[in-house]
Amino acid sequence: MASLLFLTQRIPYPPIKGEKIRPLQILRHLATNFDIHLGTLIDDPDDWQHVDTIRALCRDAYFAPLDRRIARITCLAGLLTDDPLSVAFFRNRALQRWVNHTLDTVRPDVVFICSGNMAPYVQNHRHHGIVRIVDLADVDSEKWREYAAKSRFPMSWVYAREARLILALERRIAREAEATTFVTDQEADLFRRLAPEYSDRIHGVSSGVDFDYFDPATLPPPIFDTTRPNFVFTGTMDYLPNVDAVTWFARDILPLIRRDQPGAQFHIVGSSPSAEVQKLSEIAGIHVTGRVPDVRPYVAHASACVAPLRIARGIQNKVLEAMAMARPVILTPEALEGIDAAPGREVLLATDPATFAAAAIGVLRDPSAANALGAAARRRIEAHYSWTARLAAFDSIIGTIPA
């Protein structure tokens, strides 16, 4: 069996956020045709318990510990070396030695890299007939550019610097890799405009959702008072777009809903809530959970799941999972990008606090219409978002690249 070196910035388990969900499914898919040699980092002590789960998918695996507190300090050295700070954060000498050894001794047929932050691990190594695929998923440079536009100095300067350096890295990746992939056609098209000379090697490969796991037929017991209206947001809660989304909902949208529905509650479900997010729990009826073992009890019993994202890149797993659970989803155009769902029939689109609140109130006033919307969303997921079907595109990409 052919061999494949697989690099990803965090151990792809448990599948509780996008940077773990997509790499896990890609890893499982590639493991059916390749002997996998996996290199990754672990920066959450809770994740060490999952090493054996991932090791079982691989011929060989190396898990490098990363202390986030130290990494935040050492990555500042990037300001002196003109490196992107996010790349410096994930730099690890032990993992680099393992990657070099694997390239020299195993000589894998394919190198598959999840995230541009991991590309430097192989960029300075001599390659002899190794096919390189880098799944950037999102155009990260554009994310940093948006951060800069919405921030004040000095962070606006930091984010603008990161955007410039990450774009240079992304363009180098496109130049050197045989294929560069993105999670939506929209992201791929955006990058083709940023790196037009490499457009023939840029591809969109969409994500799917595990709709057997997110199945409304296996309804978990409720975890909150279901006699009251409950709106649910899921995600990693120190991630700036998520922080912005829940803050906007809590401060600008929820008060409008409560004029009509005084008992409405808002559940912010996800790991690592920032200080700004934690402060929202001081508002009556807003619950910040932190990390939970399973988001399904929250999603399954939500009156509606909300995705009020104003900054967004790629595809939103939170939206796909809520649709799979047959729940009404109210979302902004930014959160819908890359998802094939019909507004008004399978999801509810909102562009400002007034339309968002009106959609939420409408869901509460007409449960039968809300249930029909959720059922249509589930049918869409079943028909179009199988992981197997979505990731088959990687087989075609690898198969058409001359070794």
Q: Is the pLDDT of residue 128 over 80?
A: no
Separation CA 318–CA 315 (nearest Å) = 9
Q: Is the pLDDT of residue 96 over 90?
A: yes
Sketch the domain layout of the chain as residue ranges. 2-208+386-400, 230-384
Other C-beta atoms closer than 10 Å to the C-beta of 293 total: 8
Q: Stretch 333-362: mean pLDDT, rounded?
A: 97
Instruction: Please provide residue 78's backbone torsions phi and psi, each rounded to the nearest 5 degrees.
Output: -60, -25
pLDDT at 402: 62
Q: Hey, do 2-208+386-400 and 230-384 end up sharing a CATH topology, with the first three levels equal?
A: yes
Structure tokens at 6: 């697989």
List pLDDT tens digits, range 165-177. 999 999 999 999 9
pLDDT at 367: 96
What lies within 8 Å, CB to CB, of 382 at 6+ separation is 211
Q: Stretch 339-354: mean pLDDT, rounded?
A: 97
What lies within 8 Å, CB to CB, of 191 at 6+ separation is 136, 139, 170, 174, 180, 182, 202
Q: What is the CATH number of domain 230-384?
A: 3.40.50.2000
Q: Confidence class of residue 81 from pLDDT cuts 50, 70 and 90?
A: confident
Mean of pLDDT over the chain: 95
Name the nearest CA neighbour of 216 among 325, 356, 378.
325
Q: Is the pLDDT of residue 302 over 60?
A: yes
Weakest-pLDDT range from 23-32, 125-134, 142-151, 247-256: 125-134
Q: Confidence class of residue 78 from pLDDT cuts 50, 70 and 90?
A: confident
pLDDT at 74: 87
Other C-beta atoms closer than 10 Å to the C-beta of 30 total: 21
The tokens 């001081």 sit on which residue?
282
Q: Stretch 150-160: mean pLDDT, rounded?
A: 94
Separation CA 60–CA 58 (nearest Å) = 5
Q: Is the pLDDT of residue 332 over 80?
A: yes
Q: Confidence class of residue 339 from pLDDT cuts 50, 70 and 90?
A: very high
Q: Is the pLDDT of residue 401 over 90?
A: no
Q: Confidence class of residue 182 from pLDDT cuts 50, 70 and 90?
A: very high
pLDDT at 403: 56
pTM for this entry: 0.94
Q: Is the pLDDT of residue 69 over 60?
A: yes
Long-range contacts of 367-374 (CB under 8 A, 24+ apart): 370/303, 370/304, 370/328, 371/326, 373/328, 373/345, 373/346, 373/347, 373/348, 374/216, 374/323, 374/325, 374/326, 374/327, 374/328
Q: Is the pLDDT of residue 129 over 80?
A: no
Q: Stretch 254-279: mean pLDDT, rounded?
A: 97
Q: Are 309 and 331 in contact (CB under 8 A)?
A: yes
Separation CA 88–CA 96 (nearest Å) = 13
Burial class for 388, CB neighbours closer than 10 Å (0-12, 13-18, 19+)? exposed
What lies within 8 Å, CB to CB, of 216 at 6+ separation is 300, 325, 326, 327, 374, 378
Residues 339, 20, 26, 66, Cα dihedral to 10°: 150
Percentage of residues in the chain having pLDDT higher than 90: 91
Q: Are 394 and 32 in contact (CB under 8 A)?
A: no
Q: Stretch 387-401: mean pLDDT, rounded?
A: 91
Separation CA 342–CA 219 (nearest Å) = 25
pLDDT at 400: 76
Q: Stretch 10-35: mean pLDDT, rounded?
A: 96
Q: Confidence class of residue 89 from pLDDT cuts 50, 70 and 90?
A: very high
pLDDT at 274: 97
Length of the chain in terms of residues written: 403
Greater confidence, 125 or 182? 182
Q: Stretch 18-36: mean pLDDT, rounded?
A: 96
List pLDDT tens digits, range 142-152. 999 999 999 99
Residue 400 CA: distances (Å) to CA of 108, 197, 394: 17, 19, 10
Name the nearest CA neighbour of 182 among 393, 356, 396.
393
Q: What is the CATH number of domain 2-208+386-400?
A: 3.40.50.2000
pLDDT at 177: 95
- Number of Cα atoms under 13 Å in the Cβ half of residue 117: 21
Residues 216, 218, 223, 225, Cα dihedral to 10°: 60
List pLDDT tens digits, range 210-248. 999 999 998 889 999 999 999 999 999 999 999 999 999
Separation CA 144–CA 156 (nearest Å) = 9
List pLDDT tens digits, range 32-66. 999 999 999 999 999 999 999 999 999 999 999 99
CA 379 to chain CA centroid, Å, is 23
pLDDT at 148: 96
Looking only at Cα atoms, what is the longest distance across the chain? 67
